[in-house]
Structure 1
Amino acid sequence: MNILLICTEKLPVPNIRGGAIQTYIGGVVPLLTRSHKITIIGRTDPELSEDETVNGVRYLRFDSQGVLDIYMSNVIPYLEASTEEFDLIHIFNRPKMVLPVASVKPNARIVLSMHNDMFNPLKLNKEEGDAVIERVEAIVTISNYIGAAICKDYPQAEPKIRTIYSGVDLSKFAPWKQSQAALRERDSIRNEHKLGNKKVILFVGRLSRNKGPHVLVRAMSQLRHNDAVLVIVGAAWYSDDRISDYIAYLRALAEKSPIQVMTTGYVQAHDVHKWFCAADVFVCTSIWEEPLARVHYEAMAAGLPLITTARGGNPEIIRGNNGIIIQNPEDPAEYASNLNSMLSNVGNAREMGLHGRKLVENHFTWNHVAGQILEVWDKQPVIEDPTPE
């Protein structure tokens, strides 16, 4: 089939600036091109050409300035003027694009991928939402939580929804106990930052209040392990190292911590895996209803035990003995208690991490994700015969 993927207006593809959706597309496209012709529409970037073909995939990039209306004002006229016909158009996380795209490419099947609850009444009016669900053939969601959130407002969507969890590159993320390359990365980054043999507690993510790293910093005052260090990897926004009010607050908290807290600032997407190699425990502190943070997959692939929160889709990633769910993400004591237990029982923590690695190998590789997307694409829509019997 001739297939068009339409990415969001926020970040470019490939994921040179980071981004969960961009990483997802980058992970599956090399596998999808084996059986289909792929074109990808995304936003412009100073480092990328506006029209190029790489490894058989055509990339078309349009100015967006990070604003959906600007993006659509460039993408829709292009599609309308183009004589190329697509068998299927797969739109990522922007239900607002479905009807305009359908109006200029009426013969294309349309699939929608949802990585956030963009059907929320504050983001999409009910009439448009009903029409979008009517028009799309399938809605792929990043977690059961997102699927349930959509069905709460649009129960008619239920038969079209399919959860396809994200994935991870097993060659990039590996347990340091099992991989010489990962061990070298671990030793290198620990030496560079003078971490020695400390127990590294890792947070990776955007630094904003709803992501909750301030609660983890506060938890350090109740940690019983003086040989621990908390490493916070991330910035206010992808590729943006400005010091926001929240980051200034976070750093002020860190300075008062009895346990060392290190903030790295923005780390390039291609270097983030090094911090997973260097760590001993991974903590996701989301206070908001997180759809399901992709950092969980990366932590598990690196063989790290997880601590995550009972928010949104995050609990769906805890399966058996691969991690712990924090019930009250705003309580530093709950984090401290679980971290104290985990750091005191290193053998058990390592078992958790290796169980997580096995889960990734069995369920969350890019091969798994691409295979499930192909199942959605290759499922032919049912065309009802309008002729009465």
Structure 2
Amino acid sequence: MKVVMICTEKLPVPPVRGGAIQTYIAGIVDFLGQHHDLTVLGTTDPSLPMDERVRNVRYVRVDGQGVFETYAEQVVQFLRTQSYDVVHVFNRPRLVPLIREVLPNARIILSMHNDMFDQGKISPEVAVKTIAETERIITISNYVGQVIQSLYPEAAGKLRTIYSGVDLQKFVPWEMSQRAQQARQELRSMYNLGNRQVILFVGRLTPKKGADILVRAMNDLHERYSNIALVLVGGSWYGVDKISDYVAYVRALADRSPIPVITTGFVNAEQIHQWFCAGDIFVCPSQWEEPLARVHYEAMAAGLPFVTTKRGGNAEVIIGDNGLLVEEPENPQCFATQLGKLLASKDLQRRMGSAGRKLAEERFTWERVAREVLDVWNNRAPQL
């Protein structure tokens, strides 16, 4: 079959500037390209050509200038000259009716990574039309599917959860390879972390990601665990190292913290895995209804025990003994309590980290994700 995967207008594929959706696509395209004639349609980037073939996959990039309406026009213009059996749209349900007009016979698959069916982002009329024209709606967590179904019950029979994956060769426990050990030593030396237990956050520094709550939790932990440090990896936006008001606020909190708090600023996507080697405990302090942050998979693959919040789909990756849940994400003391359990026991850290790595190997490989997507492509859903 001829298949086109359509990414969002915000970031390019491959994920040279980061992005969970872009990482997801990049993780599965080579496998899918072995089975079908595959094109990835996405936005431009100065570092990438407008049209190229990499292994079995064609990449076409259009200049949407980061604006949905402009990008949609460019996507439709490209599709007018093409013929595809399957169109797989990522996280832009408003594209579906536009695509149906120019490709009346194509099967349309929609992958949803967050709340784009919210009525503030799509009108009910367009949402209903989108669902009617879509054969399958793949979601990255049960939570995302439940939200869509609660808004539009008619979508229920089309929903399928396909959890994301992780590169098990790149994200590894630091003890497993000489390269990982070297990265750990270099970063710890560079930032004067020594033999401290490093609590790690990786993500955008925005209020909904909760870095400020995590920094404040260090005040309570310091009284019991003096040999710790907190590292906040990330900037205010993908590929940007701008000092926003919130970043300045977090750094002011960090300056007053009783323990070392490192804020790295933006780190290139190709270097992020090195920080997972440098950490000992991972924390995802999300304050919003997170669809399911992919950093959990990276932490598990790196053999790190993690603490996450009971928000959105995050709790769905706590399986057995691989992580701890914070019930009140807005309360720094709740983070201090859960982190204290891990800091008090290296044995618990090792057991949870090992359980996470095993889960990543068994359930969260990119090949598994690709096979499930391939199953959706190859098996036409029954008409409802």
Give the aligned residue type for 1:73.
Answer: E
Superposed CA deviations along residues 308-333 of structure 1, whole A, max 9, x for unmatched, are: 00000000010111000100011111
Q: Is the 8 A contact 2:34 2:56 kept in 1?
A: no
Match of 2:327 in 1: 327
- Is 1:36 paired with 2:68? no
**CA displacement at 1:187 relative to structure 2:** 1.4
- Is 1:287 paired with 2:291? no
Match of 2:91 in 1: 93
Q: Specify which of 210, 213, 216 is matched with residue 215 of structure 1.
A: 213
In structure 2, distance between residues paired with 1:24 and 1:309: 22
**CA displacement at 1:382 relative to structure 2:** 3.4
Give the 3-state SS of the residue equivalent to 1:53 in structure 2. strand
In structure 1, distance between residues paired with 2:242 and 2:374: 40
Range that drifts further, 88-97 or 53-62 = 53-62
Match of 2:339 in 1: 339
Match of 1:148 in 2: 146
When normalised by structure 1's length, the TM-score is 0.97
Superposed CA deviations along residues 65-119 of structure 1, whole A, max 9, x for unmatched, are: 2110010121112211x1x311100000000000101110111100000001111
Give the aligned residue type for 2:52.
Answer: E
In structure 2, distance between residues paired with 1:380 and 1:273: 37
Match of 2:157 in 1: 159
Give the 3-state SS of the residue equivalent to 2:58 in structure 1. strand
Match of 2:110 in 1: 112
In structure 2, distance between residues paired with 1:49 and 1:284: 35
- Is 1:362 paired with 2:362? yes
Superposed CA deviations along residues 219-267 of structure 1, whole A, max 9, x for unmatched, are: 1111121110000000000011010000000000001100110000000
In structure 2, distance between residues paired with 1:383 and 1:316: 30
Match of 1:59 in 2: 59
In structure 1, distance between residues paired with 2:319 and 2:75: 41
Give the 3-state SS of the residue equivalent to 2:29 in structure 1. helix
Give the aligned residue type for 2:158.
Answer: K
**CA displacement at 1:286 relative to structure 2:** 0.3
Give the aligned residue type for 1:311.
Answer: R
Superposed CA deviations along residues 114-152 of structure 1, whole A, max 9, x for unmatched, are: 001111111111111111111110000010000000000
- Is 1:121 paired with 2:123? no
- Is 1:170 paired with 2:173? no
When normalised by structure 2's length, the TM-score is 0.98
Q: Is the 8 A contact 2:30 2:56 kept in 1?
A: no
Range that drifts further, 375-384 or 87-96 = 375-384
Match of 1:387 in 2: none
Match of 1:193 in 2: 191
In structure 2, distance between residues paired with 1:249 and 1:191: 26
Range that drifts further, 92-101 or 331-340 = 331-340
- Is 1:226 paired with 2:226? yes
RMSD: 1.0
In structure 1, distance between residues paired with 2:278 and 2:182: 10
In structure 2, distance between residues paired with 1:381 and 1:309: 35
**CA displacement at 1:177 relative to structure 2:** 2.4
- Is 1:254 paired with 2:257? no
In structure 2, distance between residues paired with 1:256 and 1:381: 57
In structure 2, distance between residues paired with 1:168 and 1:129: 31
Match of 2:134 in 1: 136
Q: Specify which of 201, 204, 221 is matched with residue 203 of structure 1.
A: 201
Give the aligned residue type for 1:33.
Answer: G
Q: Is the 8 A contact 2:325 2:338 kept in 1?
A: no
Match of 1:8 in 2: 8
Match of 1:307 in 2: 307
Give the aligned residue type for 2:309.
Answer: T
Q: Is the 8 A contact 2:136 2:381 kept in 1?
A: no
**CA displacement at 1:381 relative to structure 2:** 3.8
Match of 1:277 in 2: 277
**CA displacement at 1:380 relative to structure 2:** 2.1
In structure 2, distance between residues paired with 1:333 and 1:104: 54
In structure 1, distance between residues paired with 2:177 and 2:316: 27
Give the aligned residue type for 2:187.
Answer: I
In structure 2, distance between residues paired with 1:40 and 1:341: 45
Give the aligned residue type for 1:166.
Answer: S
Give the 3-state SS of the residue equivalent to 1:159 in structure 2. helix
**CA displacement at 1:383 relative to structure 2:** 5.9
Give the aligned residue type for 1:161.
Answer: L
